[in-house]
Amino acid sequence: MENESIIEVQNLTKTFGKFTAVDNISFTVKKGEVFGLLGPNGAGKSTTLRMLSTLARPTKGTATIGGYDIVKHDTEVRKLIGIVSEKMIMYNRLTAKENLWFFGSLFNIPKDVLTKRVDELLELVQLTKWKNAQVGTFSTGMRQRMNVVRALLNMPRVLFLDEPTLGLDPQSSVEIREFIKKLNRENGTTVVITTHMMVDADLLCDRIAIVDQGKIVALDTSANLKKIISGADTKILNLNIANLTSELIETIRKLHCTDSVTQENSTTLKILVHGDEAFDSVIDAIRKKNGKISSMENLQPTLEDVFLHITGHQVRDSADQKIQNEKHGPFAQQQRRIR
């Protein structure tokens, strides 16, 4: 069945001492779907992935993959999954083919089957002509593609990708996104991605769960999530003010119609407002303070805007606050472990 779920999560919770990393989350992932967990560092995305991939045990709640319970039937679950963590697990002195042979041997795959599979996977990521080259000579994008196919050696039905484009240059990021699309389209692999990169979630995911402080605060397609703003009485204004000051920003922020104000650069503000009179109210307030508006634009909502609208803060603000908590909070060690 097309809409059959391959992952079912019910009230999943993970605590470290008094710190709750994942807070009572529930969701399902359909077969053949690319599903995204979107949120800042420290929101609980990676911890969720660790539980689903049997690397960490839930404190409460349950989850099944392919009908198997992640705690009671963890061995069966591992046969169905592949996982790619933030760190690249490759041996630089080994060739591409040798790396895949080594990791494939850990699955006890018969030699003839493994030989064929290694060739197929290298072809899948367009690295066949470099199969005898040391991985240490590869570009970052090539190494990340190798990192992903390493997780495909056991032909998993579900692939978990933890921040797959983290630290990659734009070209490498495009390569990885295209490969994930190809893998999902041609192999029918169900993919679960954690990311704090809006573009990854927007371009790759069939559905997106927005995660903040261990909770799922919204879950839908990218288009439907954006309708939360575009379908609501909310507008996004982009204003360029030649003589922008902190006093002027504070004046706009205090307006009844203003939901949030983000300073993009020394002269540009991005403002979320609501109400029919909001536009006029903002313009009038700026003019009363002798602000000089050089340009203005009504923007289409982005996932960043949706996150801001739902949570009241930006992804990077949440990440910065989380980092401060980790550095100075009483549960710093536990929090560092789950980032």
% of the chain beyond a pLDDT of 70: 90
Q: Which tokens sit at 61?
A: 């709640």
Q: Of 216, 228, 193, which Cα lies nearest the Cα of 33?
A: 193
CA distances from 134 to 58, 127, 131, 175, 179 (A): 39, 12, 8, 20, 21
CATH 3.40.50.300 in the chain: give the residue spans: 5-220
Q: In this structure, which amino acid lies at residue 339?
A: R
Q: Are 148 and 156 in contact (CB under 8 A)?
A: no
Query: Would you place residue 316 in the very low, low, confident or very high pLDDT band (cuts 50, 70, 90)?
Result: low
Strand, coil or helix: what is 83? strand
* CA pair distance 328, 43, nearest whole angstrom: 17
Look at 55 and 339; give whichever has higher pLDDT: 55
**Of 5-14, 132-141, 233-242, 320-329, which range is least confident?**
320-329
Query: Would you place residue 292 in the very low, low, confident or very high pLDDT band (cuts 50, 70, 90)?
Result: very high
Q: Which tokens sit at 284?
A: 């009038």
DSSP assignment string, 214-261: TEEEEEE-HHHHHHHHHTTTEEEEEEEETT--HHHHHHHHTSTTEEEE
pLDDT in tens, 19-56: 999 999 999 999 999 999 999 888 999 999 999 999 99
Asked whether residue 331 carries a pLDDT value surpassing 50, the answer given is no
- How big is the CA angle at 339 (ends 56 and 225), to the nearest 5 degrees? 95
Question: Left (φ > 0), alpha (ψ -120 to 50) or beta: where does 11 sit?
Answer: left
Helix (H) or strand (E) holding 112: helix 111-124
pLDDT at 260: 86
Q: Of 213, 238, 254, 246, which Cα lies nearest the Cα of 305?
A: 238
Report the CATH fold assignment for 5-220.
Rossmann fold (3.40.50)
Query: Would you place residue 144 in the very low, low, confident or very high pLDDT band (cuts 50, 70, 90)?
Result: confident
pLDDT at 322: 45
* CA pair distance 250, 258, nearest whole angstrom: 11
Strand, coil or helix: what is 111? helix
Phi, psi for 279 (deg, rounded to 5): -60, -50
CATH 3.30.70.100 in the chain: give the residue spans: 226-301
- How big is the CA angle at 202 (ends 201 and 205), to the nearest 5 degrees? 60
Asked whether residue 57 carries a pLDDT value surpassing 50, the answer given is yes
> Which residues make Cβ contacts (< 8 Å) with residue 45, sequence separation at least 6?
37, 38, 39, 162, 194, 195, 196, 211
Determine the CATH number of domain 226-301: 3.30.70.100
Query: In the β-sheet with 19-30, what is the strand arrangement from edge to edge?
Result: 19-30, 5-16, 60-65, 68-69
* CA pair distance 55, 50, nearest whole angstrom: 5
pLDDT in tens, 229-272: 766 677 889 999 999 999 999 999 999 999 889 898 999 999 98
Average pLDDT rounded to a whole number, residues 188-204:
92
Query: Would you place residue 320 in the very low, low, confident or very high pLDDT band (cuts 50, 70, 90)?
Result: very low
